[in-house]
């Protein structure tokens, strides 16, 4: 791989800003193959050299993948004049990496949202060809019934002509308000809300809890993010093939 500046390599982990890297280098806390770096502008091959920061070995990744626990009130976009976007929840050094959300959650929807700068895999995960499952927890007004489950399983054509493929509806509780898990293998605009509204059970709350084999990390508070582990990323690459 081509050599790159140390500050660029280290800041791409999202853990340190370029300015912090400069200070760390000055303090002798950045080693390249065991030798303290002289300048943050020194160049190294991130795949061929062993780079440590504060004794911690850097695992270089070409692309960045982040899981965000999205709170309500943020738009799934990179820029939008209408309000804060999910990018506003990330630190500046991550914001600079050209991350974009993998698909959209509505402004009021919470839960699992992936962000990346790897266009190819993001596209594959969203492509209807790959049938990657997206699972949502929802609370609706009204009593969900077995008939609703059958209608979801059969697929439905909404009043506005939208054709929805077979989807899962697993009822968790029934009352004046009901709770359920909805599983989609496609991702049309406002799909969960529109399917449930069509069944006369408008959505009161919606949260994505799983994408493919990746569950929402419940140790993340709303608004918090973390990097995907290499194993999680491998799992995503696997299901998108
Ligand atoms: N379906 C919806 O209606 N909204 C979302 O945010 C995601 C799926």
Q: What is the CATH number of the domain that holds 50?
A: 3.10.290.10
Specify the pLDDT at position 196: 98
* 73 located within any domain: yes
In this structure, the answer to whether residues 38 and 101 fall within a common structural domain is no
Q: Is residue 36 part of a domain?
A: yes
- Residues with CB under 6 Å of ligand 1 are 105-106, 109, 190-193, 206
In a domain, 216, yes or no: no
Gap from CA of 63 to ligand 1 centroid (Å): 27
pLDDT of residue 97: 83
Weakly modelled stretches of the chain, pLDDT under 70: 240-241
Please enumerate in sequence order all residues whose Cβ is within 8 A of that of 80, keeping only pairs 6 or more positions apart, or say none.
none
Specify if 196 maps to a domain.
Answer: yes
Catalytic residue among 33, 42, 88, 106: 106
Is residue 94 domain-shared with residue 201, that is, in the same domain?
no
Do 49 and 92 fall within a single domain? no
- Same domain, residue pair 108 and 227: yes
Q: Which of 57, 77, 99 is the last residue of a domain?
A: 57
Same domain, 37 and 94: no
Ligand 1 atom nearest residue 106's Cα: 6
Q: Is residue 160 part of a domain?
A: yes
* Cβ-contact 236, 125 below 8 angstroms: yes
Q: Does one domain contain both 101 and 123?
A: yes
Q: What pLDDT does 237 receive?
A: 87
Q: Are residues 121 and 190 in the same domain?
A: no
- CATH number of the domain where residue 185 is located: 3.30.70.1560
- pLDDT tens, position by position, 134-149: 999 999 999 999 999 9
The pLDDT of residue 130 is 85
Helix 119-126 to helix 230-239 angle (10° resolution) is 50
Looking at the fold, whether 184 and 71 belong to one and the same domain comes out as no
My answer on whether 160 and 200 are in the same domain is: yes
Q: How far is the CA of 15 from the centre of ligand 1 (A)?
A: 31
Are 106 and 87 members of one domain? yes
Pocket test for ligand 1, best of 102, 190, 194 (most atoms within 8 A of CB): 190
Q: Is residue 88 in some structural domain?
A: yes
Q: Which atom of ligand 1 is nearest to 203's Cα?
A: 3
Whether 142 and 90 map to the same domain: the answer is no
Residue to probe by mutation, ligand 1, list 114, 206, 208, 210, most atoms within 8 Å of CB:
206
Give the pLDDT score at 92: 83
Spatial CB neighbours of 201, under 8 Å, sequence gap ≥ 6: 140, 141, 142, 143, 144, 148, 178
Output the CA 42–ligand 1 centroid distance in Å.
46
Domain count, the chain: 3
Q: What is the predicted pLDDT for the residue at 13?
A: 80
CA of 17 to the centre of ligand 1 (A): 34
Which pair of structure tokens corresponds to residue 60? 């270089």
Which pLDDT does position 80 carry in this prediction?
A: 75
Are 122 and 232 in a shared domain?
A: yes
Closest ligand 1 atom to residue 109 Cα is 6
Mutate to test the pocket of ligand 1, among 105, 158, 181, 196 (most ligand atoms within 8 A of CB): 105
Q: Which domain holds residue 74?
A: 65-128+221-239
CATH number at residue 69: 3.30.70.580
pLDDT, residue 12, reads 80
What residues contact residue 204 under an 8 Å CB cut-off, 6+ apart? 138, 139, 140, 141, 177
List Cα–Cα distances, 50 to 11, 12, 65, in angstroms. Answer: 16, 16, 22
Residue that is written with structure tokens 């509806």 in the block: 169
| Residues in CB range of 99: below 8 A, 6 or more apart | 64, 66, 78, 87, 90, 115, 116, 117
73 φ, ψ (degrees, to nearest 5): 100, 0
Give residue for tokens 């340190």.
16
Closest to 182 measured CA to CA, from 162, 161, 163, 203: 203
For residue 208, give the ligand 1 atom closest to its CA: 7
Q: Residues 57-111: pLDDT tens digits?
A: 988 778 899 999 999 999 998 887 788 999 999 988 788 888 999 999 999 999 9
33 is known as an active-site residue: no
- Ligand 1 centroid–CA 190 distance in Å is 4
Ligand 1 atom 3, closest CA: 190
What confidence score (pLDDT) does residue 91 get? Answer: 87
Q: Is residue 191 part of a domain?
A: yes
Residue with tokens 């990330």: 90
């Amino acid at each position: 791989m081509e050599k790159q500046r140390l500050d660029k390599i280290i800041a791409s982990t999202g853990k340190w800003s370029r300015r912090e890297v400069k200070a760390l280098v000055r303090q002798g806390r950045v080693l390249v193959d065991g030798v303290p770096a002289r300048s943050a502008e020194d160049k190294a091959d991130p795949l061929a050299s062993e780079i440590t920061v504060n004794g911690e070995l850097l695992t270089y990744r070409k692309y960045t993948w982040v899981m965000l626990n999205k709170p309500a009130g943020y738009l799934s976009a990179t820029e939008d004049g209408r309000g804060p976007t999910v990018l506003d929840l990330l630190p500046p050094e991550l914001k600079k990496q050209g991350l974009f959300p993998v698909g959209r959650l509505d402004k009021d929807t919470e839960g699992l949202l992936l962000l990346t700068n790897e266009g190819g895999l993001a596209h594959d995960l969203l492509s209807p060809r790959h049938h990657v499952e997206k699972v949502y927890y929802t609370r609706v007004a009204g009593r969900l019934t077995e008939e609703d489950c059958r209608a979801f399983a059969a697929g439905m054509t909404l009043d506005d002509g939208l054709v929805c493929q077979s989807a899962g509806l697993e009822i968790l509780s029934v009352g004046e308000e009901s709770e359920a898990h909805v599983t989609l293998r496609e991702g049309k605009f406002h799909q969960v809300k529109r399917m449930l509204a069509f069944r006369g059970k408008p959505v009161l709350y919606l949260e994505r809890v799983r994408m493919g084999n990746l569950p929402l990390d419940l140790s993340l508070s709303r608004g918090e993010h973390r990097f995907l582990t290499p194993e999680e990323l491998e799992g995503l690459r696997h299901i998108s093939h």
